[in-house]
Chains A and B, each alone.
Chain A
Amino acid sequence: MTDSLISARDLGHAFGKVVALHSLNFDVPAGRIGLVGANGAGKTTLIRILLGILSPTTGGATVFEEDATSEFLSIRSRIGYMPENECLPLDMTAADFLVHAAGLAGLPKNAARQRASEVLTLVGLDEERFRRQGEYSTGMKQRAKLAQAIVGHPDLVFLDEPTAGLDPAGRDDMLDLISRLGTFGINVLFSSHVLGDIERTCDWVLMLDGGTVIRSGPLDQLVEADVASVEVVGDLAAVAANLRTRGAEVEVHGHRLVVTAAQADPFLLIRDSLADTGAGMLSLGPRETTLEDVFLRQGGAR
């Protein structure tokens, strides 16, 4: 588990007879981690265990190599948390709430005031800081929620569905902010069921489905361009058969072949097969694997 930001070993949790997490095993490094899964996959349960709010039924988890169950006070002093649900006192201004949130994060009074002011500017709420949070739009509330999570300058911040309810412009802004957190030295665990948001912001992906880990790895390895698409002129079946003899997986879509080659460069295989069969081509290009492809290929959201 060395050098892991977060690890789990046989981690399980059940709410009565309903099993939310089934014996999870994973290690994720520092950076921006995407926690992906459909609603009910177990993302929030996992976050609550990592925060020490819930105790695992089986196994255990570590954050900063400290046990999440027994050392939760130490862990919590180094993290921030942006919950999915409403969490803002509606009758307080953002300025007052941020000072309070900084105090809760353990910052002394003067530092809390200064940090609150800086972070409100960072999230774009500096001009709205003296408005009651009950008067905020959804986008402003999400920004205030993010601000309270990072006001203590945590080593790691848990973001639970931070783009929920945002319009496209608000989503863009929020994702930009999340992307920048890494440059501030803040590690991110970004929980979402929107795969595009994770693809845009994270460098490691932990996929959950039905309370089990279906994939954990670097994003660039999951979505690398290992698939090529070629539009064939000539004997399509012969080209496809030739590609298969070379170890490629081939899908036929009309006159187009989608070629996946895990062990070799699909473009070189296509070149050789076209040469062998004497067929021609109209177009050739990469078809990048998206996170959604990976998720569905792994049987996600069955």
Chain B
Amino acid sequence: MSDRGVVYDLGYVPYDGERTGRRGAVSATFRDGNYRVLGIKRRARKKVMPWALAVFAVLPAIVFVGFAFLLSTFSPDAESPFGSHADYFNLTGTIVLLFVALAAPELLIPDRREGVLSIYSSRPMRPDDYVAARFAALLTVVAGFLLIPQTLMYIGFAALDADGFFNALWSNAGDIAKILASTAVYAIGYAPLALLFATLSNRKSAATGLYLGTLIVGTILGAILFEETLLSGREYAAMLAVGELPTHVNDWIWGSASTAPMATAGFDPWVSFSVMIVIAVVSTVIVIWRYRSQM
């Protein structure tokens, strides 16, 4: 017998293990969507913007808690000079807006432009499943952007509370529901419209530009029509400030005075919430309709 190694050609091995069917296909689409919007398993340049924005979203919370810790060391009775949960949502809301503007086109457009949609069309899933998985992927990452810093602040400030960590966690438990509600408001307020623009355009830069342009122009136009004209019903022009609707609802959730255009125009927060929901539903319906015709 020779002691030299022997190479065996094992050939093709059929797979006869577990198959997860539709659930597995949807789960894979969701997972790939998360990777895609965060640039995971993609080129380095695809990671720059999402991770930079993630750092911008989380870093201030770490700094706030850190400074509050230092302050409490020197002056245990001093109030934290840093913002509340509501203020922090207004900060991260802007970051989320930018993230969604970049992530939604990245999530949908390459699959159409590079023909990958034909692969999804042949897998055990419906067009609605594809859209739902992609929506869920974006909403999950957006929720992460919003929830992680808020959680850090909630736990951090509880750790510094004079009443003790667990007492503070319990006494501030009502904030958890508010944090979750505000997270849902920003995610629903921004993501569906961004996905609609990503569905209607085949160029990522165009989709991002049109989305941000619509929100910016809407806000400016709403302000001009409301504040600079004497038209009857001019207060309805405030509804054009679509990007400010989540801010109005967020301020309502946290009981803060709002300077959002809808508040200035005299509308109750539930009107802003309703307009937001209508936009989200209409956007989602159009996206599903477009994908049903393509898959």
Mark A residues whose CB is within 8 Å of B: 51, 53, 73-74, 76-77, 79-81, 83, 85-93, 96, 100-101, 103-108, 111, 115, 118, 122, 132, 148, 152-153, 158, 180, 183-185
Contacts and interface: CB of A to CB of B under 8 A. Distances in A.
Q: Is the interface of B mostly helix, strand, loop or mixed?
A: loop
Contacts of B111: 89
A122 B116 CA distance: 22
Given A76-B122, A86-B115, A92-B42, A115 B15 contact: yes
Nearest to A80: B122
A108 B123 contact: no
Contacts of A90: 110, 114
- Nearest 5 pairs between A and B by C-beta? A103-B28, A81-B122, A153-B15, A106-B24, A77-B124
B13 interface: yes
A184 B15 contact: no
Interface in B1-50: 12-22, 24-25, 27-29, 31-32, 41-43, 46
B205 interface: no
B121 interface: yes
Contacts of A180: 12
B20 A107 contact: yes
A87 B124 contact: no
Contacts of A105: 19, 24-25, 123
A89 B114 contact: yes
B24 A108 contact: yes
Nearest to A133: B114
A100 B295 CA distance: 19
Nearest to B17: A111
A73 B116 contact: no
B202 to A, nearest CB: 14
B120 A104 contact: yes
A104 B28 contact: yes
A73 B126 contact: yes
Given A89-B110, A92-B41, A103-B24, A111 B123 contact: no
Contacts of A107: 15, 17-20, 24
Given A87-B115, A115-B15, A106 B25 contact: yes
B126 to A, nearest CB: 7
B17 A87 contact: no
B151 interface: no
- Greatest chain A CB density within 10 A among B25, B27, B46, B116 is at B116
B24 A87 contact: no
B148 to A, nearest CB: 25
A104 B118 contact: no
Given A90-B114, A111-B17, A104 B121 contact: no
Contacts of B16: 153
B116 to A, nearest CB: 5
Contacts of B122: 51, 53, 76, 79-81, 83, 158
B119 interface: yes
Contacts of A118: 12-13
B125 interface: yes
Given A77-B19, A81-B119, A104-B29, A184 B14 contact: yes
A38 to B, nearest CB: 22
Contacts of B119: 81, 83, 87, 101, 104, 148
Contact of A83 (B12, B31, B118): B118
Contacts of B28: 100, 103-104
- Greatest chain B CB density within 10 A among A74, A103, A180 is at A103
Contacts of A183: 12
B123 to A, nearest CB: 4
A73 B124 contact: yes
B121 A91 contact: no
A282 to B, nearest CB: 50
A103 B27 CA distance: 8
A51 B118 CA distance: 11
Interface string B100-136: 0000000000110011101111111110000000000
Nearest to B26: A104
- Greatest chain A CB density within 10 A among B31, B46, B119, B121 is at B119
A87 B116 contact: yes
Nearest to B13: A118
Contacts of A74: 124
Contacts of B114: 86-90
A106 B46 contact: no
Contacts of A108: 17-18, 20, 24
Contacts of A111: 15, 17-18
Contacts of A53: 121-122, 295
B22 A73 contact: yes
